[in-house]
Amino acid sequence: DRVPIRRALISVYDKTGLEELAQGLHAAGVRIVSTGSTARNIPAAGVPVTEVSEVTGFPECLDGRVKTLHPRVHAGILADRRLEDHVRQLKDLEVEAFDLVVVNPYPFVQTVRSGASQDEVVEQIDIGGPSMVRAAAKNHPSVAIVVDPARYGDVVEAAKSGGFDLKTRRRLASLAFAHTAAYDTAGAKWTAAQFGDDADAAEMPAFPPYAGLALERSESLRYGENPHQAAALYVEVGAEPGIAQAEQLHGKAMSFNNYVDADAAVRAAFGFAEPAVAVVKHANPCGIAVASPGAADPIADAHAKAHATDPVSAFGGVIAANRPVTEAMAETVKNIFTEVVVAPAFEPEAVRILSAKKNIRLLALPGGFSRDAVEYKQVSGGMLLQAADAIDAAGDDPAAWTLAAGEAADEATLADLVFAWRAVRSAKSNAILIAPNGAAVGIGMGQVIRLDSCRLAVERANTLGVAVGGGADAPGGAENAAGTGAPERARGAVAASDAFFPFADGLQILIDAGVKAVVQPGGSVRDEEVIEAAKAAGITMYFTGARHFFH
Ligand code: 5GP
């Protein structure tokens, strides 16, 4: 079922590998037809080429908008050579068939990203290229379609050995359709964003990209969440850089769970403007901290504090830093069993130190990290879309908070409240986060009742502490009443709650543990009860007016 390659149509924007392709095809006896600048590049390789305008008898025109859109091209691609009638018609019309089509379209997505004007972007919407790709993919029983320069080696091999077999042509067709689908979806997304549709825009102001997702398969993963689940990474065409675009500098291949955790970790760490580190397990932070003001090596300091949140759970975790990883940070991380470290960059010395560990994965984010503006969540049979929770959201500015109970916080306490309020949103709801000095010491998360999250946060604060630069003398370092030897880290600390306290009981647990100030959205029907409990205990409580569920 091989189709010998005798005549090829080549029209490529990306000229990578073009010379080798032309030479290889020519050596295999293939005749080449090409568009303008592609054709001009081929003779340089010492290969004869026919211009497509000679085939059509029509000049390329309208600034290249019309080059290959012609029956002499499309009949040559679309004729089904298994049908005698098609073969006869080609003969009557004096049209010669193509056995191979090699196209890659104008770089529409890159042009959008470059900040080009609307007219420039429009000019980069390729019409003739994708038309040929779709025609050749449809006619895969007779034609092979190649869209990726990485496959040119295979093309030359096939030309030398009697052509591609049917199975390969079918696979190539499937890749080609995926390519044009992604291309068109990117176009739909861009036009929707540019020109909008007033009616829809009024309904969903935050959803210019509602035209859909354009995904391209990036890599196969060994397995999914569990070993019996097949899995792959797909990259969103035209997306802002994120974990899917990260560059791996060292270590084993990323797993499905590594990607999920790394994403949760960068989301947590990059939520802060100041140097910050998050340590994540099972998509939840078990450590999160910002550098102390004046720290000699801020990111190493933030890491030491984040590790101290829960040094037990940090084993096997994923660490994200929002600043380049320094030598000092690497020296500490190398002693902690860690799955992944992800950061904007790594100092060369840090890479050297960490690469001594065979399995640790180092991920750099050379393009930075931005959260996608729209988030998607699959539900059975469909998809939920939402505007992503903002990094700087309503309710983040303490100047707009209302003092619901107690005295206004002093500057240091307020800074801790601001930290806790930003940090708690990276823990799955219901979430409670206790923090002194810009570092979480107890996080309760993912519970079905807020009361349990409060209990967990206090328990973790008071049992997991190793006295890093603290101990019984440090603030909040009183000896644990339970006699575990761990410092009572909740005492004198602040706490944040990702949503309101529905009853006073959860807050009371924090009060009993010695928390001195609390920030929460407010808005419960029982707010009065909750405020009374805070007042009775003499603690400070702020309402932000905004909540941050995260499921
Ligand atoms: P060249 O660089 O050879 O002049 O043009 C190659 C590019 O033109 C390819 O990216 C191909 O997809 C695109 N192309 C081929 N035919 C047409 C056409 O008829 N109209 C438009 N707009 N683009 C075409």
Residue with more model confidence, 191 or 89:
89
Compute the average pLDDT of residues 231-252: 89
Cis omega (within 30 of 0) on the bond before 104? Answer: no
Place of tokens 């449809």: 138
124 CA → ligand 1 middle, Å: 10
Q: Give the strand pairing for 100-104 and 144-146.
A: parallel
Ligand 1 closest atom vs CA 125: 22
75 three-state secondary structure? helix
Q: How far apart (Å, rounded) are the C-alpha atoms in residues 255 and 483?
A: 41
User: Whose alpha carbon is nearest atom 2 of ligand 1?
Assistant: 37
The answer to whether residue 282 is catalytic is: yes
CB 494 within 8 A of CB 417: yes
146 CA → ligand 1 middle, Å: 15
Q: What is the pLDDT of residue 212?
A: 54
Where residue 376 falls among pLDDT bands split at 50, 70, 90? confident
128 CA → ligand 1 middle, Å: 6
CB 87 within 8 A of CB 81: yes
Where residue 482 falls among pLDDT bands split at 50, 70, 90? low
Q: Is 185 in the pocket of ligand 1 (CB under 6 A)?
A: no
User: Whose alpha carbon is nearest atom 1 of ligand 1?
Assistant: 37
Ligand 1 closest atom vs CA 38: 3
Q: Which of 70, 160, 282, 334 is catalytic?
A: 282
Q: How far apart (Å, rounded) are the C-alpha atoms in residues 287 and 513?
A: 20
String of DSSP letters for 496-522 = EESS--SSHHHHHHHHHTT--EEEE--
Q: How far apart (Å, rounded) are the C-alpha atoms in residues 37 and 19?
A: 13
pTM here is 0.72
Ligand 1 closest atom vs CA 60: 19
Q: Is 11 in the pocket of ligand 1 (CB under 6 A)?
A: yes
For residue range 495-520, list pLDDT tens digits in order.
999 999 999 999 999 999 999 999 99
Q: Is 103 in the pocket of ligand 1 (CB under 6 A)?
A: yes
Q: Is 38 in the pocket of ligand 1 (CB under 6 A)?
A: yes
Ligand 1 closest atom vs CA 129: 12
Instruction: Report the chain's C-alpha Rg in angstroms.
Output: 30
For residue range 64-95, list pLDDT tens digits in order.
899 999 999 999 999 999 999 999 999 999 99
Q: What is the share, in percent, of the chain residues with pLDDT greater than 90?
A: 76
Q: Is 13 in the pocket of ligand 1 (CB under 6 A)?
A: yes
CA 185 to chain centre: 18
For residue range 200-238, list pLDDT tens digits in order.
444 443 444 444 566 777 888 999 999 999 899 988 776
Residues 6+ away with beta carbon under 8 Å from 279 = 265, 285, 286, 287, 288, 306, 307, 309, 310, 313, 314, 317, 318, 319
Q: Which of 138, 252, 334, 357 is catalytic?
A: 138
Q: Which of 34, 49, 58, 68 to mutate to test the pocket of ligand 1 (most atoms within 8 A of CB)?
A: 68
Q: Single out the residue of 69, 43, 72, 42 nearest to residue 57, CA to CA.
A: 72
Residue type, 225: E
The answer to whether residue 138 is catalytic is: yes
> Other C-beta atoms within 10 Å of 58: how many?
15
439 three-state secondary structure? strand
Q: Is 152 in the pocket of ligand 1 (CB under 6 A)?
A: no
Per residue, the 3-state secondary structure of 304-353, as one string, reads: HHHHHHCCCCCCCEEEEECCCECHHHHHHHCCCCEEEEEECCECHHHHHH
Q: Is 69 in the pocket of ligand 1 (CB under 6 A)?
A: yes
Where residue 487 falls among pLDDT bands split at 50, 70, 90? confident
Residue type, 7: R
Ligand 1 closest atom vs CA 40: 3
Share the mean pLDDT of the chain.
Answer: 90
Q: Is 129 in the pocket of ligand 1 (CB under 6 A)?
A: yes
Residues 6+ away with beta carbon under 8 Å from 379 = none
Q: How far apart (Å, rounded) are the C-alpha atoms in residues 5 and 25?
A: 9
Q: How far apart (Å, rounded) are the C-alpha atoms in residues 401 and 263?
A: 30
Q: How far apart (Å, rounded) are the C-alpha atoms in residues 464 and 440?
A: 12
Q: The complex's ipTM?
A: 0.90
